[in-house]
Amino acid sequence: MKKFNEQGLKSRAEQNFELFNALQKDRQGFNTLREMLHRWTGIHLTDGPASQLKMANRLTRVLCRHELRNYQQYAERLRAEKPGDIAEFVSAMTTNTTRFFREGSHFETLRTIMAEVIETKKRDKSHEIRVWCAATSTGEEAYTLAISVNEALHSEPDLKAKILATDIDLSALQRAATGIYSQERLAKLEPSLVRKYFSRCENADGEAHFQVQPQIQKMVHFAPFNLHTNPYPFERGFDIIFCRNVLIYFSQETAQKIIERLTGALNPGGYLFVGHSEVGYVRAAGLKMKEYSIYRKSA
């Protein structure tokens, strides 16, 4: 049996800690990478010790993986603009904190809105409801939308829903597309919804996981998309857009432009949901607040 090298492990841990401390103090390298992040994604990382700590915390493992000693070496690597390196950088620096039915009041209001949307579609003899989850991360929000919409359509066989779920983080999208989540990620879901929309499975270690049911997965299409893109390429509008807890990572000016483009992507009478802390970013003409952080586009 191979002997466990405790000293070697300790040495690597110490090296990682030393690198982490050095990165926190590298203001010039921090600013270089901060500018790169903004150029590629539009995300505005504020200046200051808190942001320097955040970057060091997220990039220490990346630099260690590539055996790089400082931000300058990493910036040189990124300047080659290899898609894999850029994707890794963006993935490390973007936040993937999410859960099923996050900010639950939104989904309570969505039930009322869905009844209205259904009546409008039936009146217009339209058979498709289009929803966009504009910052899906690892998919919990997109599947929550699919479950909520499916519940609303249970007695409407002539209506179908399509949900576009996008994110800039390719690794997060790959995880989302599997539709597999740990038991902990489903902890706050109603047991009846877990039984109805998930199948129990196990990972290689025998740990309990849950797979989203195929009929829900089929409702969702995952695709990479940068909200900083201009113009947005959609040929058809959306009835509902969720863009929550992502505007806070942009400057006020960039966030305002994103809101304007999101508004343009809404159908007349469509609804935009933003995070509860993002109301201050919404100043687009043609939007009227229906409830706190929920807006309706003029019909």
pLDDT at position 14, please?
A: 67
pLDDT at position 11, please?
A: 56
Residue count (the chain): 299
Tokens of 110: 């969505």
pLDDT at position 25, please?
A: 83
The C-alpha atoms of residue 75 and residue 84 are separated, in whole angstroms, by 14
Full-model pTM: 0.81
Which residues of the chain are under the pLDDT cut of 70? 1-16, 95-96
Residue 227 CB-half CA count within 13 A: 34
Instruction: Let me know: does 78 contact 86? Beta carbons within 8 Å.
Output: yes
Tokens of 94: 């973007």
Helices H, strands E: what count in the chain?
A: 11, 10
Query: Which residues have a Cβ under 8 Å from the Cβ of 101 and sit 6 or more positions away?
Result: 107, 144, 188, 189
Q: Is 239 a catalytic residue?
A: no
The C-alpha atoms of residue 148 and residue 144 are separated, in whole angstroms, by 6
pLDDT at position 92, please?
A: 86
pLDDT at position 164, please?
A: 98
Backbone angles phi, psi at 31, to 5 degrees: -65, -35
pLDDT at position 15, please?
A: 67
Query: Per-residue b/e over 169-185, b at no fewer than 16 CB within 10 Å?
Result: bebbbebbbebbbeeeb
Domains of the chain, each with CATH number or no CATH: 6-93 (1.10.155), 105-297 (3.40.50.150)
Query: Which residues have a Cβ under 8 Å from the Cβ of 154 and sit 6 or more positions away?
Result: none
Sign of the CA dihedral with 76 first, then 168, 92, and 42 last: positive
pLDDT at position 10, please?
A: 47
Query: Of the listed 34, 130, 167, 169, which one is catalytic?
Result: 167
Tokens of 103: 């900010």
Q: Is 251 helix (H, G, I), strand (E, B) or coil?
A: coil
Q: Is 167 a catalytic residue?
A: yes
Asked, as a colleague might, if the bond just before 231 is cis with ω within 30 of 0, I would say yes
Smallest Cα–Cα separation from 256: which of 240, 234, 236, 280?
Answer: 280
CA angle 219, 220, 222 (to 5 degrees): 160
pLDDT at position 19, please?
A: 78
Tokens of 224: 């990479």
**Residue type for position 183:** Q
70 forms bridges with which residues in the sheet? none
Question: In which residue are the tokens 């949901």 written?
Answer: 273
Query: Which residues have a Cβ under 8 Å from the Cβ of 20 and sit 6 or more positions away?
Result: 56, 57, 60
Tokens of 188: 């706050």
Q: Is 181 helix (H, G, I), strand (E, B) or coil?
A: strand
Query: Of the listed 58, 175, 185, 261, which one is catalytic?
Result: 58
